[in-house]
Amino acid sequence: MIGVARSRLGKSAELRLADMRRFDLCREFRLVLIAFNSIGHLHKRSDVENCFRCVKEHLAGDGLFVLSMFNPDLRLLTRRADDVREVSRYPDPESEHDVIVTETCSYDRATQILTSNWLYTIGGSNFDTQLLLRIFFPQELDALLHYAGFEIRHKFGSFDRTEFAADSSHQIILATAA
């Protein structure tokens, strides 16, 4: 991903590969962004707290912290583990076939970890991958930010800036250091 980002951004951005739970870039930024459900890769509360501490240390006084995470849907989390759902279908740029992505998943209510198994089918070939993602419910994410010293300035329910509501697909939070 870093290579793709570098090829698209060129020298207009400085990119570094680091652990989001512990990093020190020796400077502050006016914008810190954790996008595309990336916070879900932090499975323990202590990891989230460490990440938020690092973000706060790197956020300029007038800086904005933007965090996006999908809004959990209990209908999806409570599906049967053998229920196969098509996630995506798109043309394979290297063949005449479609890429078909299907998913099975299981959710551990104690750890709030969603285990997603994705199967990619291209023509007659298959390959799979597994993703473990921590689920953050709206009030929980708000509380974690609050106790880490952030003030939520706005919360949107989608990337088109629709207000956050129960049926929103995403939690897009704009926060500042309190």
Give pLDDT tens digits for 66-85.
999 999 999 999 999 999 99
Under DSSP, the state recorded for 71 is P
What is the average pLDDT across 10-18?
Answer: 85
Structure tokens at 73: 């849907």
Which of 12-21, 83-92, 118-127 shows the lowest mean pLDDT across its residues?
Answer: 12-21
Is the domain of 115 the same as that of 126?
Answer: yes
- Residues 5/34, Cβ–Cβ less than 8 Å: no
CA 28 to chain centre: 23
The amino acid present at 129, given as its one-letter code, is T
| Same domain (yes/no): 53, 105 | no
pLDDT by residue (tens digit) across 73-117? 999 999 999 999 999 999 999 999 999 999 999 999 999 999 999
Q: Are 123 and 159 part of one and the same domain?
A: no
Mean pLDDT of the residues in the chain: 96
Residue 64 shares a structural domain with residue 148 = yes
Q: Is residue 109 a part of any domain in this protein?
A: yes
Does some domain include residue 80?
yes
Residues 6+ apart with CB under 8 A from 22: 50, 54
Domain-embedded: residue 21:
no
pTM, two decimal places: 0.90
Task: Tell me which residue range forms the domain holding 86.
Answer: 74-134
Residues 38 and 62 grouped into a single domain: yes
Q: Does residue 1 lie within any of the structural domains?
A: no
* The pLDDT value given to residue 160: 97
